[in-house]
Amino acid sequence: MLNGLQPWHLIILVLVVVLLFGAKRLPDAARSIGKSMKIFKAETKDLTGDKTAAHEDAEPAVTKQIPATPATPVSTDQQVADLQRQLDELKKQQAAEQPQKNVS
């Protein structure tokens, strides 16, 4: 009689998993599986076109706050120039930090 999983099947399965991985590594494994599922869910929502909800579920990236811009309208050329300048500054900061990481 093969009626599917019985409760004692699940108990044996849990015992085997605990014996294989150890009780200390199981929480870390569960955490990483949860993060992977969250990322997978966000990516599948991106593919279906629901971009706003997908980015809310994903892990927040580390960002640097951009200074507030004046209320007066700025031309797109000026905005592009400002963004390029900020990008160049960030590249310089990363280049300055890189040798420090290699030294330690």
Task: Report percent pLDDT > 70 for the chain.
Answer: 67
Q: Where are the alpha helices (DSSP H) in 4-104?
A: 7-21, 26-48, 51-57, 76-103
**Is the model's pLDDT at 11 over the cut of 70?**
yes
Q: What angle do CA 100, 59, 51 make, to 5 degrees?
A: 125
Q: Cβ(21)–Cβ(36) under 8 Å?
A: no
**DSSP category for residue 58:** S
**Residue 50: its H or E element:** none
Residue 37 confidence class, pLDDT cut points 50, 70, 90: very high
Its pTM stands at 0.33
Average pLDDT score, the chain: 77
Model confidence over 53-74: pLDDT tens digits? Answer: 545 555 555 666 666 555 555 6
| Angstrom distance (rounded) from CA 42 to CA 38 | 6
How far from chain centre, in Å, is Cα 85? 27
What integer is the mean pLDDT of 10-16?
89
| Spans of all domains in the chain | 74-104
